[in-house]
Chains A and B, each alone.
Chain A
Amino acid sequence: MLGTTAMFGQGIFEKSKVTGSFQIDGNYYWEDEGIGITEEDINGNKFGGYGFGKVQYQLGNFTAGIRFESYQIFKMTGMPTELNGTGLANYFATYDNGTIGVTVGDIYDQFGNGLIFRTYEEWTLGFDNSLRGIRAVFRPTEGVTIKGLYGKQRLYWESYEDHGLVRGIDGEWDINQSVKAWNSTKLKATLGASFVSKYEADKEYNFGDNTYKLPQNVGAYAGRMNLGYGRFGLSAEYARKINDPSAFNNWIYRDGQELLASLSYSQKGLGIVLQAKRVDNMSFKSKRTEEENKLDIGFIPPLNYTHSHSLPSMFSYATQPNGEMGIQFQINYTIPKKTALGGKYGTKLAFNYSQVNDIKRDSIMVNGVNTMYMMGTKGYDSPFFAIGDKMFYRDFNFEIEKKISKDWNLTLMYINLYYDMETIEGHPEAEPVKAHFAFGEVIYKINKRHSLRLEMQHMWDNVSKDQEIDPLQEENYVKRGNWFAFLLEYTIAPKWFVSIADKYNYGNPIADNRDHYFTGSFGYIKDQTRIAISGGRQSQGLVCVGGVCREVPASSGVSLTITTSF
């Protein structure tokens, strides 16, 4: 017995593995009259910060992990202040031998594209909707995966008590893997289906003199397919949800539905993709009274291009779960090396067009009364293929990237953007943004490890410097008018980087808003550890990841970020 234990112990020490990661973001704020930050805004809270530490233990097929989180944040940080506190935010244990897998604890997973189930965390947004419960995965034969899960979702540090119960099942069948005769056919096919149900105990909702009966169980289902034939690909997912009156849809009893489809063609040096989407009343939460993206069970993927440059990214699209129709078209092409246009190194081109409109809604008349979005009714009718008149977002952009010589690299980009601020930021009567952007970047390689990078951007807005602004609307013009931005960065690979940047809203219609946002950053990377310090002004804007956004107020100060893993 002792011998076995000793052997076992030795085995464990040799074969088990502990890994982890750690991140801390610290901020120090100061007053800045120039951008309107007064002592009152800071209110004595000069130091803020948040961080997490994660440890994982792995022994063969067994994995367990914990994550601690700590937040001390203020209005200035832009993160939800409900996160303030410290504690064990996530723990799990998984056993998975390839055929059967079981996880107990806090679960991240998604069914298909996530339309009716996706739990994930996005540190930069302070977002985490993980499911605390149990998940089982069964792979009975090659190419077949069946998943089932059960639990309640996280919202900040709130008690899980009054969050709805989420139960889901998903099956996926990879036909080529599972059917021998299909193993080597040119046609690749995967099919999948899922069902998710949420349960909330409340049976009715009282509003004024009215009492509405509520469905305790709300079911949602989805089917998907993924086809590939040589250079072509076709994928689609359709989801439907039964009536689910909630604060988000103004307590209407309409069913929800969503379609996502993509068609692509690609070969070496050329890729083309066309996507379409329709969303109708698909907000799906494990608590009816929640707003924004809190306790979302489903995820609505945005289709449009994600801009990473600082000026266009101030106008990022946020998905509209109550209804939207969108398309997106993208071409990536590389002009081959050693051709007249391609030059010695080839030239990379990219073109993107995307547009999102509202869906068309027709009124339902009940006894001569228009019940459009009226509480307790079906809300509206919506023909599936009809596009609404209101445009939420449109973007077309063109990018050319060229390595000119061994030492010089050039990127140019043009962006044309339409951004309906009223809908996307929820600011009533805000004037839509119709802007052009030009972006240019030059990288000069001084030698093998030293590089200099210069980035310049300009935005031409439809709001001019001389436009008269209604004093009541001033808030909607904080980031309007023309902008100029530059960034100069010096890097010594693989360890050092230092940069200075400025964004200048010189064309703002309100003279007080014509501000510079000057920042400087400095950083050091050693293997998997990164330390960065930056200081200066942060402009008001949206930080968006995956169509989910967080509004960040203007601030002035220094921040320190440290990330590492082991």
Chain B
Amino acid sequence: MRLLRPGAVTQAERTDEPRQGFYAGRMGFFRQTAWHIILGGLSVCFALPLLWMLSSALKENQEIFRIPVQWFPETFLWGNFIEVLNYPGYPFFLFFRNSMFYAGMVTVGTVLSCSLVGYGFARLRFPGRGFLFSLTLATMMVPYIVTFIPTFLLFKNLGVLGTYIPLIAPAFFAEAFFIFMMRQFFRGVPRELDDAARVDGAGEFRIFWQIMLPLVKPALVVMAVFTFVWTWHDFFRPLIYLNDPDQFPLSLGLFSFRGRRLTEWHLMMAAATLMTAPLVILFAVAQKYFVRGMRMFGIKG
């Protein structure tokens, strides 16, 4: 699988530049413009659902269903956002805070544990390492639901259903996909660096913490952004583990809002916008890393 090689980045990174070689100088101004129009038309198709979400979030409810379709609201009802944040029984402000807590904690846990474990597999020799690593990769093949039911029963027996413990605790014990990714990154760091530190008498943990971690910062950012986004998306596990609406993250809050308040589409769209906006901002800020990460490691979720 050539895609899984970190070296692929270097090529992927300069994609925004016009290519040299075969394609160079083959496109004049008009052809460039033509491509922009074709691609622009297509990318508008992909952007339209988001535009519809935002515009409906700023409308009155009936206005959404008016014919012909109105892409822009008559008056921008920013108050919809205020209303949904304080909706009786569906406190989206609280849901937002819960999502932040959930995604934040899982991100911290995953970054800490997976870099630690990834480093162990990449750099330290211990008996059974190869076998344990293959076992790690093998766990990725098993559908989530197979291990989910016994894990649920385990947490049930521990009496922690209805809390965030089953949602957050596993993140602190690492996860196969990111272990694999971190291992690849640590293997790319020249050996001389840690060997030199070892000769100087630094302990293994200090070498890891003070020398290796700063060197793989881009990988840590990619891992953090991915984990945050996927946890923010997560709907299945909160659906199963949480009961009290005050604990709901946005995904579950929006789902149950739709179940009970079927007709208030403008507020549903306002909530959906509130849920999407932080990720779009995060994506814009971390875009460089994000796209690079996608290219290197393929998708998950």
Decide whether A and B are members of one complex: no
